[in-house]
Structure 1
Amino acid sequence: MSTQVVVPCFSTPMKGLFKSKPRTPADLVHHLRHLLPLTAPNPDPRTSKRRQKTCDEVRKVIHEMRTVLYGDERLEPAEEACVKLTLEFFKDDTFRMLIVCLPNLDPGTRQDVTHVIANLQKQRVNGRSVASDYLERNTDLLTMLLPGCDDSELALSYGAILRDCIRHQVAAKFVLESGHIKTFFKYIQDPSFDIASDATSTFKELLTRHKSTVAEFLSKNYDWFFKEYNSLLESPNYISRRNAVMLLGTMLLDRSNTSVMVQYVSSLDNMRICMNLLRDSNKSIQLEAFHVFKLFAANRTKPQEIVKVLVANKSKLIQFFSDFTFEKADEQFESDKAKVVKEIVILELKYQACSTLKRNVKKSPGEASHLAASVLC
């Protein structure tokens, strides 16, 4: 008589019974801090497998952090968990360790790191930005993120993190006032398109986000800054010229920079650079240059040297603007162009009247005539 042995099947009810308990936000940060120093490359081949396992574990931890902050296809992020992760992350030097060890991680993990840091930078706890407070105490970290890395993939990760940092005014102010912004003039023209493009994005963020800080910086550093900036406008690199003239228009048209704009458009050298850009072979550069040139034409306090150049080139300018158009030109563009032409025509009439009055003053030098000439001219 045979006995049939029935083996109980636990596959369905027992599934997931022995799953590890999800790590808390604090556990994730503590575990990451423990792992990061172990990701450093080691020439000893016997440690390569161990290091690879560590890097794989780091990737998992970073992915878990990303899930906490962004949620997944099943769950939305929990506010309490985001707050706890933010506080734990910025409480000690996890941010510093992550930046230092970023070169040890693979590109996929680096990308997840930038997403995690981007979210943590935006988190607010009791109305305060924990990231801003941290950066105010650790401004030296910003220098580690500045352009200067020859590894384009790593440079892109650093650039993304830096742009998230300078969303905080304290960080942007540090980069501007410490003189590190000079670094960007080099890397904006880097032969590597990725590095140049990333540096340009960060440069624009620095010079447009925090209005009062930027206006103060430009006023204090006008001479050297625009000397360097004009070299970008005259760069043989088409992309550098295009990006530079676009950003210039954005800066000068911002109301916070009115005093800087008046100073810039009062320079004959600056106007000559702009007029050369109007003749650029690229249409988009021509259009952006026009948005800057119209400021020179609209300036009510034009220096006499600028007036003379505009009057001397009146015919050429009017002919140029009569042919100056684009496929997608709108009413605003046509209106601005008409105003520029009108200003140049009126300027010649004023200049001729001024010249006539000055000649009369020389023939009959009276106090009233001198006064009239000074007011008109």
Structure 2
Amino acid sequence: MPMKGLFKSKPRSPVDLVHHLRSLLPFAAPNPSIRKSKRDEKIGELSKVIFEIRTLLYGDERSEPAADACVKLTQEFFKEDTFRMLIASLPDLDPGTRQDVTHVITNLQNQRVNGRFVASEYLEKNADILAMLIPGCDDSELAISYGAILRECLRHQVAAKYILDSDHFKKFFRYIQDPSFEIASDAASTFKDLLTRHKSTVADFLSKNYDWFFKEYNTLLESSNYITRRNAVMLLGSMLLDRSNASVMVRYVCSLDNMRILMNLLRDSNKTIQVEAFHVFKLFPANQQKPPEIVNVLVANRSKLIRFFSDFSFEKANEQFESDKAEVVKEIATLELKGQPCSTLKQCEEISC
């Protein structure tokens, strides 16, 4: 009988795996007091342990993940500061190991123990860990890993509220305009999740921070970068057309400056941006409490707007789009002038279609 394989080491338990992970993480960061050969050995072992944890959580080609093992690992992982240590170690890990870490944390965010999301409870007590993730969103090498982990954390309302209410959120207006495609695209995904995932939290945030938020947001709509403009106008439509943001939408469509921006986007050279801009612009004529300056601009541009919409269509236009367009034209056609100050006349010339 062949002897090979008889003395294989016994697989570690989920609790032992987390303990071993925790003991190895301090070796990730360079340390002059530790020999390079020893550190390299420990980092190699760390990568294997992280992969072993990933396999336990996801299974492999031979077996499915065991629910009981996943529960035990989740409980142990969030008992102490393993999560914090793992996030702090990310910059010192190789890309493959960082990817495994991302998969592990993604899975753990969704594990339930006795019907509760342990990760959510942990983040509520340790929300500052989210602040550790945000600087990584501005690093082209780390953005994908940090961004993916942050978005998984944002599944929990407590995490989204923490970011929205902090000064860290304002950084995303810079990140999504970064020259690096990796940074900009990943930040845009996180930005969208922050503003759409948890309806009541977003509605409360927009109501309390309306002035500075939309002042910053309008700079995205007027960006010289096509992708920034496209993403911004699409997200704006998602926010304003959501019922939970009804009061914010009413406030937004009472602003002449906001309408000016949308009218200019209707003339964008890109058809996608034009169509998305229309879905927001239609809210201005539809507003039954239009301020006089809004009415005056629409009246002053009436013939040009009606002519523009008569030719305005796209390949995948459907009945709803045509119906909305007809309603916009009808509303504009029946408007009556409400006085015409000189300042309004000047603005009319600037935004005419």
TM-score of the pair, normalised by structure 1: 0.87
The corresponding residue for 2:247 is 259
Q: Which deviates further from its counterpart, 315-324 or 267-276?
A: 315-324
**1:280, distance to aligned residue in structure 2 (A):** 0.5
- Specify the alignment match of 1:212 in structure 2: 200
- CA-to-aligned-CA distance 1:36-78 (integer Å, 9 cap, x gap): 101212468x833322222221111111111111111121111
Q: Find the counterpart in structure 2 of residue 367 from structure 1.
A: none
- Cα–Cα, structure 1 residues 149 and 262, in superposed 2: closer, same or farther, change >3 Å? closer
CA contact under 8 A between 1:156 and 1:194: conserved in structure 2? yes
Please state if 1:246 is matched with 2:239: no
Higher relative CO (Cα under 8 Å, sequence separation at least 6) belongs to: 2
Q: Helix, strand or coil for the counterpart of 2:329? A: helix
Residue 191 of structure 1: CA displacement?
0.7
User: Structure 2 matches for 1:135-214, cutoff 5 A?
Assistant: 135-147=123-135, 150-214=138-202
> How many residues in Structure 1 have an aligned counterpart in Structure 2?
339
Q: 1:47: which partner in 2? A: 35
After TM superposition, give the deviation of residue 147 of structure 1 in Å: 4.0
Cα distance between partner residues in 2 of 1:49 and 1:78: 36
Q: Which residue matches 1:109? A: 97
* Native 8 Å contact 1:102 1:110 kept in 2: yes
What corresponds to 2:263 in structure 1? 275
What is the aligned partner in structure 2 of residue 5 from structure 1? none
Q: Please name the residue that 2:12 is paired with.
A: 23
Q: Is 1:234 paired with 2:242?
A: no
Q: CA deviation at 1:155?
A: 1.9
Q: CA RMSD in A?
A: 1.4
Please state if 1:323 is matched with 2:311.
yes
AA in 2 matched with 1:342? K
CA contact (8 A) 2:54 2:104 kept: yes
2-structure distance, mates of 1:200, 1:147: 15
**Does structure 1 residue 32 correspond to structure 2 residue 18?**
no
Q: Which runs of 5+ in 1 are unaligned?
A: 1-9, 356-377
AA of the residue aligned to 2:305: L
CA pair 296-147 structure 1, distance change in 2 beyond 3 A: farther
Identity of aligned residues (%): 76
In structure 2, how many angstroms separate the alpha carbons of the residues matched to 1:180 and 1:272?
Answer: 30
Please state if 1:221 is matched with 2:187: no
Residue number in structure 2 paired with 1:338: 326
SS at match of 2:268: coil
SS of structure 2 residue aligned to 1:152: coil
CA contact (8 A) 1:147 1:184 kept: no
In structure 2, how many angstroms separate the alpha carbons of the residues matched to 1:344 and 1:163?
A: 42
Larger Rg belongs to: 1
Q: CA deviation at 1:180?
A: 1.7
Is 2:233–2:277's contact at 8 Å kept on the other side of the alignment? Answer: yes
Please point out which of 263, 287, 293 is paired with 1:299.
287
Per-residue deviation, 1:218: 0.3
Question: Is residue 137–residue 175 contact of structure 2 (8 Å, CA) maintained in 1?
Answer: no
SS in 2 for 1:91: coil
5+ long unaligned stretches in structure 2:
340-353
Matches of 2:314 and 2:4 in 1, distance apart?
A: 66
1:99 correspondence with 2:84: no
TM-score normalised to structure 2 length: 0.93
Q: Which amino acid aligns with 1:314?
A: R
- 1:233–1:273 CA contact under 8 A, matched in 2: yes
